[in-house]
C-alpha cells in the first residue's frame, strides 16, 4: 500500500508536474503553483539535507525531494486505506505490538537492507531516492500517528515539535486527471504542531 500511495503522489509533485494527463512531457502547472510548491516543499528538502549517508556526505535534499514527498504522501495514504479497510473488524495486539505499531513496523521492515560503503558514496550523488534508513525514519517522524502509536515523548528525535506534512485530499485516491483533479488533490505542505504531549516512553522514539 505505501508503494501505491507513493506512485500516486508522484502525479502531483515536481516529477509529475512535468507530464500531462496523456503522459506527454509538458509542464501542466501554473507558474505560481510551481513556486508555491517549491516554497512549501522546502520543509522536506531541508529535513533530508541534514541526514548523513556516510562520512561527511549528506543527502542532497533537492535531488531526493520528489521521492521523499512521495514516501510521506504514500504512507499517509496507506495508513488511511488500512484504517478504512479495517473498519468494523477486530484488530488485537499480536505478540505484544498493537495494530498501529505493527503498521509502522511493517513499513520499517520494507526498508531493511545493507549496502557497502563503496556503493553508498556514488548513490549519494546520483540516486534520487534517499537511503533506506531515511525512507523509513525520515517519513514516520513526520507522522503524529507514529508518535501516538509508540507513545513517544514530544521532542524525541522521532517525534519532533516541528514536522513536515504532505496533505493529500481524498480525491487523489480515487484518481482523476487534468488541472481540475490537480486543484482538488494537490498535496499541500505545512509545518505541524505536535498533538499535545505524550508521556509514555518508547525505545524507538530516539532513533535517528
Report the interface residues with Zn ion, using CB under 5 A: 67, 70
Find all residues with CB under 8 Å of 99, minimum gap 6, and list them: 86, 91, 92, 93
**Gyration radius from the chain CA atoms:** 18
CB of 181 to Zn ion, least distance (A): 19
Angle between helices 132-140 and 31-49 (to 10 degrees): 110
Of 7, 161, 162, 184, the catalytic one is 7
Which one, 128 or 175, has the nearer CB to Zn ion?
A: 128
Tally the residues of the chain: 208
Closest CB to Zn ion among residues 121, 129: 129
| Minimum gap (Å) between residue 7 Cβ and Zn ion | 7
To the query of whether residue 118 is one of the catalytic residues in this protein, the response is no
7 assigned to active site: yes
Q: Are 202 and 152 in contact (CB under 8 A)?
A: yes
Among residues 53 and 70, whose Cβ is nearest to Zn ion? 70
120-152 as b/e: b if 16+ CB within 10 A: eeebbeebebbbebbbbbbbbbbbbbbbebbeb
Q: Could you say which of 13, 67, 68, 71 is catalytic?
A: 71
Minimal distance in Å, beta carbon 75 to Zn ion? 13
**For residue 195, which of 150, 138, 147 has the smallest C-alpha distance?**
147
- Least CB distance to Zn ion at residue 48 (A): 14
The four Cα atoms 14, 20, 25, 31 give a dihedral, to 10 degrees, of: -50
By beta-carbon proximity to Zn ion, the closer residue of 134 and 150 is 134
Q: Which three cell numbers stand for residue 27?
A: 509542464
Active site (catalytic) residues = 7, 71
Amino acid at each position: 500500500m505505501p508503494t501505491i500511495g507513493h506512485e500516486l503522489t508522484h502525479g502531483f509533485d515536481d516529477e509529475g508536474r512535468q507530464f500531462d494527463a496523456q503522459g506527454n512531457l509538458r509542464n501542466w502547472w501554473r507558474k505560481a503553483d510551481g513556486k508555491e510548491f517549491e516554497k512549501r516543499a522546502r520543509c522536506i528538502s531541508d529535513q533530508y539535507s541534514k541526514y548523513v549517508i556516510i562520512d561527511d556526505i549528506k543527502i542532497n535534499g533537492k535531488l531526493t525531494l520528489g521521492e521523499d514527498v512521495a514516501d510521506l504522501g504514500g504512507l499517509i495514504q496507506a495508513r488511511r486505506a488500512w484504517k478504512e479497510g479495517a473498519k468494523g473488524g477486530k484488530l488485537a495486539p499480536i505478540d505484544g505490538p498493537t495494530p498501529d505499531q505493527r503498521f509502522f513496523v511493517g513499513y520499517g521492515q520494507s526498508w531493511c537492507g545493507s549496502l557497502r560503503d563503496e556503493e553508498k558514496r556514488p548513490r549519494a550523488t546520483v540516486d534520487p531516492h534517499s537511503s533506506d534508513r531515511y525512507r523509513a525514519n525520515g517519513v514516520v517522524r513526520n507522522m503524529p500517528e507514529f508518535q501516538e502509536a509508540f507513545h513517544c515523548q514530544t521532542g524525541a528525535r522521532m517525534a519532533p515539535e516541528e514536522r513536515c506534512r504532505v496533505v493529500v485530499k481524498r480525491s487523489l485516491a480515487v484518481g482523476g486527471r487534468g488541472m481540475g483533479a490537480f486543484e482538488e488533490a494537490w498535496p499541500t505542505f505545512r509545518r505541524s504542531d505536535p498533538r499535545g504531549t505524550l508521556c509514555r516512553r518508547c525505545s524507538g522514539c530516539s532513533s535517528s
